[in-house]
Structure 1
Amino acid sequence: MLVGPLLLMLLGSRLAAQASANSLAPLLERPVLALQVTATPTATLPSEVVTPEAIGSSPAFSLTLAALGYNQTTLNSPVDITEYSFRLPDNWLIDKDSQLELDLSYTYNQAEPQNYPGQFGDLTIKLDDQTLEVFSIEAQQLDNYRLTIPLPASAFAPDRLQHLISLEFDAGSLCAVPHKATLIIHPTSTVWLNYTQLPLELDLSRYPRPFYQQTFTPDTLRIVLPAQPSASNLSQALAVTAKLGDLTGNGLVISPTTDLELSQLLTSTSTSLADHLIVVGQPQENQLITMLNRLVELPVILHSRQLPLTIEGPIEVTSGSPLNYTFSFTNTTGRAANLSLFSQLPPATRLTACTPKCVENKADQTIVWPDNRLAPDKSFRVSLTLQATAALTGVVEQTAMVVEQKLGPVNANTLTTPIVTDLPQTERQASMVGSEGYFFVYNNRAVAKDDGIVMEIPSPWNENRAVLIITGLSDEAVTKASQAMSSETGFPGMSGPVALVREILAPTENITTRVTQSELTLTDLGYSDRVIRGQAQQTINYDFNLPYNWQLTEAAAIDLYFNHSQLIDDQNSSLTVLLNRQPASSSLLDDQTADNGHIHIDLTKANVQPGSNRLSIQINLARTEQCIVDVDQGWLVILADSRISLTHTDITGLNFDLDYFPTPFSADPTLSNLLFVLPGAPEVTEWGQALRLAASLGSAVSGKMLSPMAALGEIPPASEMSRYHIIALGRSSRNPLLQEVNATLPQPFLPGSDEIEQRLDNVIFRLPPGLSLGYLQLIPSPWNPERAFLAVTGTTDEGMVQANATLAERPWVVKGNLVLIRDKNVSTLDTRELTQPVAAAVVTVMSEAAPVVTVTLTATPLPAATPTPSTSSTPTAGSVSTGSSTPGWLFPLVGVNGLLVIAIFAFVFWQARYKRV
């Protein structure tokens, strides 16, 4: 008889213990719907796209409507219309007739199944507003009927970037007969194109085209760095990638590789390379540049140095003074040679004397000592005197080149002299280059050794792809070239396939920053009035951007203005607005909305997110009078003066919460105060993730020139570190900077290890060995409290990649100062306000996370123990009691369970006695 009370006591004590230690248990035992914001997916090449195996003249190319992103469409009688748009690659010329193969199904039913008409309607097919064919429907039913329509080459408007196929269904002749007719356009309908592939238009003024075209195939790009990239190499690539993120809205698929990896791939396979390439570095460090120079004729030709060349000249000079130079070289070719020396006349100077006699070519501004026959190891020396004019400013560059009659250019050199206003120094300087290394020649002139070089060429591995080479003869030169490609400029120097960059001026934030409007019309976004016709449901999309450092106020809203025909059925016609695929508002279309339709959407309550947003409008038009035969009588217009009001407050100052990422890292619109710190010898995965994050940050800023920096391995001086916001990437065991700041991180690692010491608050947890976790940790910079330090790391490389992907692609899910990522499970904490139950729950979720449950926790405890329903679909610690006192519901629960246990035991005891009787 003591079993019941004893069990009750045990049960009560266990429940009390569980209530205080596991107050999050109910949350963890059931699936929780986490808030998900679905971004527009990056285009991928669908399986329905048939790519020709060989590139040549007029290959056939097939493209289904499904591959273009269209679903099945139903057209209803008496009249209806649908449209399909698509873009072709820039270098496709439709020069032969193609065809459209429609997959149709038609069904006709009438109230009296007799006296069927002989003709059931017409389908008019148009391309770019030109009527191609009118198909007469002469059967009551068609099942997957294949209709082939020729597409004349002349029908493709050459000046249109986007082509439009229109299908207009007209069954107006049947409207007097009560009936129902539907015409279905199946997504297996196919466009067959015959085209000639033209050479790519290589023009730097069109950049980022041809690398980014937004056609039906994905835009993919590889950044190629040396096998052992330096900090300068990475800084150069970061600047270029950040600008690409800005110019494309982070729409390019960018992957990293090294010259060695790509060379091995290209020599081990005969398949074409599907990616565009951007190659960064000096020719002596990036082997792909020398490989390209062997495979194709570069517009700026790379030559090997074959003999030493020296230029002597003044160390300083004033405007209007003479400049005296001496040139000397030695024939080290091992044989007799016929050598000519070419000197380029600097701007704002003129020739006064030369010894021995020289020839001045005023057409191309060169001075030549031709045909000097030298035996092996013999030297040649000449002198030159120029007169500087008063217009000479900046620096004087004297560039010389030696050309051998049979070998061509064999060396070049440059001497740079600054222009001063005071009395110049009388000392002389010399520039000497030996017979090792490389030099560039453009249009038969040597390129100055400190000039940056940018050139676009067709890919030798795929003539439908391009290669952008960013190079130079020095680190300074490559930096100039990369800064040119991280800038916006409309000057003539950035036109055609080649740009030589002499100098880059420091960016001025107040001048270079583009103004971001908070009050926008659809016209401001590049859209005009949009007209919708027909009965089929149609959707139109508008894209706009919300800067990451904007906090919307209550006045932020979308005001959509529209007009529509009064000949539509006001009981069955509607307009629905979606924001990022989530419904925001709906309205019936009636007489009150016909002339001045207006929908107001409060953005603070809508599914708006930082970065890119898509506003979608779904329109359903039905008619009151089925005998309207003119499709234009049923219409709706979305007016271009519709407004998007992004009234906001700027997130300013330092906010050490990942809720506001990318602030403060994007506070400077040029990213010039941002430093990426990687391991000393970064692996491709590590510097590739830095590029990925740079592209994301680039899409969040508006500077005309972007210039983030990189450091590798050794920690820079404190004075240098204090200037920057810092992002450290990589595992703790590989990144010395992470080891340096480890003790100050919210979640430190075991010293010299990638294993974490799960120390949250004053509790230490034991985690499974080999657990792959990604970590984002945000703290004030140890070198400057006015700067931020962000660690993008993990217990494994996979974990680090997951952490970076979360930050770059889903920044709206990160919060607090510590984010833990395992697979797609994201937990966020603020360890500055952490409580033990929250810490225990996070450890449980991260070590035992189920794939169907995503739990996001923040550590903002409620002041009372009473649970409060959260208005967000993402649970927070604030919605769960974290107090140490016993909840009020505990004792009634224990009592009820105790009575239930006693009743069960009484029933069992009675049943046993009954059976014995």
Structure 2
Amino acid sequence: MKKTKIIVFALLLVLLASPIHAFAQSSERGKMFQPEYEIEITDNRAVFSFSDLGVRERNLFSPLDATSLLFSVPPNWKLAPGGLLELHFDVVVSGADLGRIQEDALIGSNLIVRFNQVVLGVISAGATGSYVQQFQIPNDALVPSREDGRHVLSITFDAQLGCTYDLNSVVTIKPSSYFDLLYEEDSPQIDFSRLPAPFYLENSIVPDSVLVVVPDNPDPLELQAAMNVTAGFGAMIDDAYDFNLVNYQALDDVRRSQNHLIFVGLPSHFDVLSDVGFEIPVRDGQFEGVPAASSDDGILQMALSPWNPSKAIMLVSGKSLDALSKAAFAMSTGNVLAYQGSALAYVSNVQFLTSDIPVVEQFTLEDLGYPTEILDGVGTSSVDYRFHISKSQVASKESYIDLVYYHSALLGYGSSSLSVYLNGQVFATDVFTEETEQITTLRVRIPPGVLRYGENLLEIRSSMLVHPSCDEIGFIDPWLTVSNQTLLFLPASEDNLLSDIVFRDLKFFPDLFTSNSDLGNVAFILPASDPVAWGIAGQISYLFGEATRLRISNLNVYFGDAIPDAVRSNRSMIIIGAPGDIPFIDEINNQLPAPFDFNDNTASEQQLQISYRIPSGQSVGYLELLTSPFNSGESILVISGNTSAGVAIAGNVLLQRDLQDQLAGVFAVSDGSQIATGNATSLFSI
């Protein structure tokens, strides 16, 4: 069980300084990731405003209110003495007793400013006006107070004089406020126990980037390993990030020095690895010093980059393809146990989701071993529960949860609530009332299609706010109790085919392919020599990991001319590449919503009411979705184009939010900016 809490004080929202991610046309997620701010960094000095971190104006109200801002610095930075905070704020004071307060020169409103829990200063906020105040940051405030390494600025507004006099006060913290920080450069900490750091730091003020590097002529198992590693990082980071997959030849000197690098493949494919100071060095394409007992093990290593000491290098490999697969599966869990130092791990075996999960139709959280949980504090808190189900339970239409809870009476009713999430999808919200202060049982029906075969994640998230009151001294600490008598009823269904409850439509991507908790029913079908297609598959793998928060990734990869019968019969397939480069497309061409003409790689649009002639030299991308002809319970998605650039356009449509939102039906064609969509059963474009 995972329990999280974001502490927020009376009527406030935590201002998480997360960069906003915008997307542009590209076949690489790195180019798609464009932070909307610029940090001024010169001579070991970083200057950035609150607005640079995406923080807007924040109002604090009397008698008591507060707000917080969190950020990270790059993994090779350590804050140095001499930094400062300049706070810009407005104060408005009103009320019948305002004149009396001014006449008696009473001061009763203050701002208390803390950085990493160290008080920087207390300033008066008792008179209407605009103010600028600088705070020197002392040495004892330079070290983060949070376990995750993020720095936190907290501002408390104490205006309890309004409890004695008829006064109302509002302080507006302005986004023009800024930090001016000095730092020293040091080597980032290389430690598997800190993953996803140093490859990713939450709320970093400086955008970072990662390249997953695969061989130029990879075996399908090497690409498969890369997809599973990428999915694992998507689950760990759980956010959009500059995370791309490229082939080795594309790793020029600039990319090598500007990115964290993750090499995935046998060591003989990467000659530059001999320059990296791994604990188990690579010489002439071979590992040196691997213990005999670990000769068949997967090998995971990290080291500092020899091309940029502020960046990290990871190697996911082994002495054989089987060993490489073990290393990649282990890496996808995000939980790497390094017994021989913090930067080296051997993986001897991997176990996957069993095919014979027993059917348990009714159980409580107590049956799963979970205690009764108390979520406390103003703001947002959550608690996670994980459980497993069989395939026969996934498609049930009668499943429900009886959520048993109760809470304190110190809440602001109408603005406090709890929400129920299953596998990242919210499907119920209940607003707290005086009646729910007593033991309450809320029955919530589970919508079909939300459950997954294997592991499922149930999250109870509370949003508890209070109305500041002069009847209470200080901040109120409300609580919500989630009882372990909460019951889940998940009956088996006679017909366990998801096809009976899932409507195949491009608008439901990626959910159509995430019905298994480890993605073990999904296979990528790729060209043997198309790095653009490999990169798109990497981006989709990252998205799958982000969408599912998986514990282990079991994606498969095959080339388009060698797809085993067992894969055709038992897996959904995502085919990426130009039609002429993938022989398998020829096999299913007549069953596609828009069959391809292999003379020019264009798709027929005869089922649309209006078809446009594609000018010579114009690249277009195609997306086609169909029920697998080998298994009606699985799906096939074709991501293709009339050129390599067209394939990139099609992949971008799936990954760029404003284009993805336009998808509908089972067929789409795009030139990169416009999309036409259609349904195989309709004569009209949707």
Alignment TM class, shorter chain as reference: 0.7 to 0.9
Residue type of the alignment partner of 1:199: S
Distance 1:239 1:439, change over 3 A: same
Describe the SS at the equivalent of 2:590: helix
Question: 2:380 pairs with 520, 540, 544, which one?
Answer: 540
Distance 1:477 1:157, change over 3 A: closer
Distance 1:212 1:667, change over 3 A: same
Q: Where does residue 757 of structure 1 map in the other structure? A: 604
Residue type of the alignment partner of 2:305: S
CA distance in 2 between counterparts of 1:826 and 1:588 reads 44
Describe the SS at the equivalent of 1:714: coil
2:276 matched to 1:302? no
Distance 1:259 1:790, change over 3 A: same
Question: 1:470 pairs with 307, 316, 325, which one?
Answer: 316
Superposition TM-score, scaled by structure 1 size: 0.57
Q: Decide whether the 8 Å contact of 1:239 with 1:706 is kept in 2.
A: yes
Give the 5 Å matches for 1:662-741.
Answer: 665-666=513-514, 669-672=517-520, 674-682=522-530, 684-699=531-546, 705-716=552-563, 718=565, 721-722=568-569, 724-741=571-588
Q: Decide whether the 8 Å contact of 1:574 with 1:621 is kept in 2.
A: no
Q: Where does residue 563 of structure 1 map in the other structure? A: 408
Note the C-alpha offset of 1:224.
Answer: 0.9
Question: 1:223 pairs with 168, 188, 212, which one?
Answer: 212
Describe the SS at the equivalent of 2:579: coil
Distance 1:154 1:71, change over 3 A: closer
Residue type of the alignment partner of 2:46: F
Note the C-alpha offset of 1:453.
Answer: 3.2
Note the C-alpha offset of 1:247.
Answer: 3.6
Q: Decide whether the 8 Å contact of 2:575 with 2:639 is kept in 1.
A: yes
Q: Where does residue 178 of structure 2 map in the other structure? A: 190
Describe the SS at the equivalent of 2:620: coil
Q: Decide whether the 8 Å contact of 2:329 with 2:350 is kept in 1.
A: no
Q: Decide whether the 8 Å contact of 2:377 with 2:464 is kept in 1.
A: no
Give the 5 Å matches for 1:402-441.
Answer: 438-441=285-288
Question: Per-residue CA shift, 1:159-206, capped at 9, x if unaligned?
Answer: 632554332222333554433322211122234444444432322344
CA distance in 1 between counterparts of 2:487 and 2:292 reads 54
Residue type of the alignment partner of 1:182: V
Identity rate, percent: 21
Q: Where does residue 277 of structure 1 map in the other structure? A: 261
Note the C-alpha offset of 1:209.
Answer: 3.2
Question: Per-residue CA shift, 1:233-270, capped at 9, x if unaligned?
Answer: 21221222233334444654321222222225358xxx
Note the C-alpha offset of 1:90.
Answer: 5.5
Note the C-alpha offset of 1:478.
Answer: 3.5
Q: Where does residue 99 of structure 1 map in the other structure? A: 84
Superposed CA RMSD in Å reads: 5.0
Question: Per-residue CA shift, 1:308-329, capped at 9, x if unaligned?
Answer: xxxxxxxxxxxxxxxxxxxxxx
Question: Per-residue CA shift, 1:322-359, capped at 9, x if unaligned?
Answer: xxxxxxxxxxxxxxxxxxxxxxxxxxxxxxxxxxxxxx
CA distance in 2 between counterparts of 1:219 and 1:125 reads 29
Question: Per-residue CA shift, 1:685-713, capped at 9, x if unaligned?
Answer: 21011112223334566876534332334
Unaligned segments of structure 1, at least 5 residues = 1-38, 305-437, 533-538, 843-856, 858-917
Residue type of the alignment partner of 1:478: L
Q: Decide whether the 8 Å contact of 1:552 with 1:646 is kept in 2.
A: no
Q: Decide whether the 8 Å contact of 1:775 with 1:799 is kept in 2.
A: no
CA distance in 2 between counterparts of 1:219 and 1:558 reads 41
Q: Decide whether the 8 Å contact of 2:622 with 2:641 is kept in 1.
A: yes
Question: Per-residue CA shift, 1:777-798, capped at 9, x if unaligned?
Answer: 223245x666543322244555
Distance 1:635 1:177, change over 3 A: same
Describe the SS at the equivalent of 1:686: helix
Question: Per-residue CA shift, 1:410-448, capped at 9, x if unaligned?
Answer: xxxxxxxxxxxxxxxxxxxxxxxxxxxx432238x7998
Distance 1:80 1:664, change over 3 A: closer
Q: Decide whether the 8 Å contact of 1:105 with 1:183 is kept in 2.
A: yes
Q: Where does residue 620 of structure 2 map in the other structure? A: 772
Count of matched residue positions in the alignment of Structure 1 and Structure 2? 628
2:497 matched to 1:653? yes
2:251 matched to 1:262? yes
CA distance in 2 between counterparts of 1:516 and 1:70 reads 46
Residue type of the alignment partner of 1:125: V
Distance 1:74 1:518, change over 3 A: farther
Give the 5 Å matches for 1:462-611.
Answer: 462-486=308-332, 493=339, 496-501=342-347, 503-504=348-349, 507=352, 509=354, 529-532=375-378, 540=380, 542=382, 555=400, 561-565=406-410, 574-575=415-416, 592=434, 596=438
Q: Decide whether the 8 Å contact of 1:657 with 1:778 is kept in 2.
A: no
Note the C-alpha offset of 1:676.
Answer: 1.7
Note the C-alpha offset of 1:524.
Answer: 7.3
2:45 matched to 1:60? yes
Residue type of the alignment partner of 1:123: L
Describe the SS at the equivalent of 1:631: coil
Residue type of the alignment partner of 1:540: T
Note the C-alpha offset of 1:598.
Answer: 7.5
Residue type of the alignment partner of 1:456: M
Question: Per-residue CA shift, 1:539-577, capped at 9, x if unaligned?
Answer: 5365979999677768468777543449x8x8xx74367
CA distance in 2 between counterparts of 1:718 and 1:747 reads 24
Which is greater in Rg? 1
Note the C-alpha offset of 1:818.
Answer: 4.1
Question: Per-residue CA shift, 1:115-154, capped at 9, x if unaligned?
Answer: 514244222223455544222346x332142342534425
Question: Per-residue CA shift, 1:476-510, capped at 9, x if unaligned?
Answer: 55344334434576655575212345x54564625
Residue type of the alignment partner of 2:303: I
2:145 matched to 1:134? no
Superposition TM-score, scaled by structure 2 size: 0.74
CA distance in 1 between counterparts of 2:574 and 2:288 reads 39
Distance 1:643 1:149, change over 3 A: farther
CA distance in 1 between counterparts of 2:260 and 2:357 reads 29
Q: Decide whether the 8 Å contact of 1:110 with 1:178 is kept in 2.
A: yes
2:15 matched to 1:172? no
Q: Decide whether the 8 Å contact of 1:100 with 1:151 is kept in 2.
A: no
Note the C-alpha offset of 1:108.
Answer: 2.5
Q: Where does residue 233 of structure 1 map in the other structure? A: 222
Question: 2:305 pairs with 442, 455, 459, which one?
Answer: 459
Q: Where does residue 630 of structure 1 map in the other structure? A: 473
Residue type of the alignment partner of 1:61: A
Residue type of the alignment partner of 1:297: G
Q: Where does residue 66 of structure 2 map in the other structure? A: 81
Residue type of the alignment partner of 2:129: L
Q: Where does residue 199 of structure 1 map in the other structure? A: 187
CA distance in 1 between counterparts of 2:69 and 2:556 reads 45
Q: Where does residue 122 of structure 1 map in the other structure? A: 110
2:50 matched to 1:50? no
CA distance in 2 between counterparts of 1:230 and 1:482 reads 14
Q: Decide whether the 8 Å contact of 1:658 with 1:778 is kept in 2.
A: yes
Q: Where does residue 793 of structure 1 map in the other structure? A: 640
Describe the SS at the equivalent of 1:737: helix
CA distance in 2 between counterparts of 1:511 and 1:89 reads 45
CA distance in 2 between counterparts of 1:124 and 1:480 reads 52
Q: Decide whether the 8 Å contact of 2:594 with 2:603 is kept in 1.
A: yes
Q: Where does residue 202 of structure 2 map in the other structure? A: 214
Note the C-alpha offset of 1:223.
Answer: 0.9
Q: Where does residue 417 of structure 1 map in the other structure? A: none
Distance 1:235 1:531, change over 3 A: closer
